[in-house]
Structure 1
Amino acid sequence: MTLHPLAFMILKRLALGLVTLLAISLFIFLAIELLPGDIAEEVLGQSATPETVAAFRRELGLDQPAITRYLAWLTDVLHGDFGTSLASGREISELLAGRFANTLFLALYAAAISVPLAIGLGLLAALYRGSWFDRTVNIATLSSISFPEYFVAYILLLFFSVKWGLFPSIADFGSDASLGTMLYRTFLPALTLVLVVTAHMMRMTRAAIINLLAQPYIEMARLKGASPARVILRHALPNALAPIINVVALNLAYLVTGVVIVEVVFVYPGLGQLMVDSVAKRDIPVVQACCLIFAGIYILLNLSADVLAIATNPRLMHRK
């Protein structure tokens, strides 16, 4: 039985993604190994006796060779066991579940605002190319993309929270909050992410549309009397979906994996905040698990971008 070319491409990309994730897991483990100091001494403190440190190292398996520990950790991860937190003694999978749900909620909240906004602004900028609207949008997006996330976050905090008192400065909404409360308390971190990622998607949408406006079929549509809006929406946009989908997927990956700074600024109980807290406590198993999850999500969304781009434009499957 012959596989459909798209199905074969998906399987090939999945295999490549698994190999990439395996390489990243090795890199994460080696990076942890290269950290200065002894993990057992850092966890137990300076008052611990050498016998206690040695016993704790045996308990953690630190007395074994690095390759043995890596293979044991990788085997446990493949079985869904990320180990136990050194700081709290809880199962890491239990810690990750709630935090990952919070991070996903924040990313989807920001994506629901930024994706339609960016595509709409990009289409309007292409439609009114060279006008005051186009120039204003380009200046605004270039300004937002030029500032780091923490700077945008503190500016929003200064005005919306400190001066005007419209939104809370801390985005922690507890465990039993309603959807309205969650949307309200996470508006500022979501707005920070929107301002950061909208520029990329808007400029790519504008560039992809403008690049197609010089094509012969677009000229033919204009000669037939089609309005500029119809030319862009009916003729240019379907053929520009591939690069737009790619940049949207990449920015969605950033929304999930790049929220660490935003979560720390707004004390948001997400995966990024958990990773930063674990680094401060030298809770290495939690740090490894967070890094691996971020890498897996990024690889998966990149794969989704490739598949959707080819599904909208099958010509990308064949080499020129």
Structure 2
Amino acid sequence: MVAYVARRLVFVVLVLVAVSMLVFGITALLPANVAYLILGSFATPEQVHALELKLGLTDPIWQQYLRWAGGFLSGNLGESTLMNRPIGPILAEAIGRSLMLTGVSFVLIAVIGVGLGIVAALRHGRPLDHGISVATYLGIAVPEFFWAIVVIVIFASWLGWLPASGYEPLSAGVWEWAKHLIAPTITLVFGHLAHVSRLTRSSMIEVMQSPYVTAARAKGLPERVVVLHHALRNALLPTITVLALDFGRLMGGIVVVETVFAYPGLGRLVVFSIQNRDLPTLQAAILVVAAIYAFANLLADLLYARFNPKIRFGRNVA
């Protein structure tokens, strides 16, 4: 197990190194001049050149990358060229808000998705199963921005129950905080619910037809015991992996939802940095998103190994 974790950690580190090189290389080749962005449009060529020398922008790109990567590892993420603030606190605030949104959404996706999958599997081929399938397929087929618009129109415009956009901290009151969180949470949950529910349904149907479940029923065990104690644990193995991956997808794909709802999280920070050519902030934000996704993949592997003895104790671990 230790060797398995070590291999996965090495792989994650290599992925992050490759992503950091790619992100830095692409942003370095963009036409935007960081020194010009810092000084403004009224700066003279001499002032721009002097700042380029001070920031090391005239050095070879590999030297710039090593200096940037070293600062990132030491916690010095640089300074935003637009907001004139250290990038670290800006990212920390955005990540905290995004983790709050994705955390609530993730819990709801796990609970509702697994529950719907179990119900659909136990009612396999019946109207309830078909109804759940249609609803979850809609979540896959329709893009998130459409559901965001639907939520805004229904709950903000027609009913007036929720604000259409924005964010309020917990210090403003629990209800004010929750009101601004409900609409984007509904959008994220409906957009990602299908993967979990469909996979749980398929796994449960397969497990419920297995010999050990048939044997448990033959012993006269109640159906509730058969489902919860004999079938569910094995059926949840692939679902656990997908759930861990979905958390990474939630963080990586939150850009659309945060932009539509003007939610000041990590996704909106990425869009804001692109629109305003704030390259240092953009580099750091993209690398953080990649790190979250990579560690979510690592967590998925570890959870699967934890619950699957063949991987956990096998000799040939991929």
Report the Cα distance in structure 1 between the residues aligned to 2:81 and 2:93, rounded to whole angstroms: 18
Tell me if structure 2 keeps the 8 A contact 1:171–1:185.
yes
Q: Does 1:233 align with 2:253?
A: no
Three-state SS of the structure 2 residue aligned to 1:176 is helix
Tell me the number of residue pairs that the alignment of Structure 1 and Structure 2 aligns: 315
1:14 to 9, 16, 28: 9
**1:311 — aligned with what?**
306
Check the 8 A contact 1:242/1:310 in 2, yes or no: no
For residue 194 of structure 1, what is the aligned residue in structure 2? 189
1:1-320 maps to which residues of 2 (within 5 A)? Answer: 6-174=1-169, 176-317=171-312, 318=314, 319=316
How far 1:179 moved relative to its partner? 3.0
Deviation, structure 1 residue 226? 3.3
Residues 106 and 190 of structure 1 are in contact (CA less than 8 Å); yes or no, is this contact kept in structure 2?
yes
For the 8 Å contact 1:241–1:309, the answer to whether it is kept is no
| CA apart distance, 1:62 | 1.3
* TM-score, normalising length: structure 1: 0.93
Task: Tell me, yes or no, if the aligned pair for 1:119 and 1:201 is still in contact at 8 Å.
Answer: yes
Q: Secondary structure at the match of 1:209?
A: helix
* d(CA) in 1 for partners of 2:64, 2:212: 60
CA separation of 1:86 and 1:59: change in aligned 2, threshold 3 A? farther
Instruction: Say whether the 8 Å CA contact 1:275–1:287 is kept in structure 2.
Output: yes
Unaligned runs of 5+ in 2: none
TM-score (normalizing by structure 2): 0.94
Number of the residue aligned with 1:3: none
| C-alpha deviation, 1:37, in angstroms | 4.2
What secondary structure, in the 3-state scheme, does the structure 2 residue paired with 1:186 have?
A: helix
Distance 1:229 1:185 in 2: 39
Mark the CA change 1:42 to 1:80 in structure 2 (over 3 Å): closer, same or farther.
closer
1:206-256: per-residue Cα shift (whole Å, max 9, x none)?
111112223211221222233444322211111123211101111111222
Moved more, 189-198 or 46-55: 46-55
- Cα RMSD (Å): 1.7
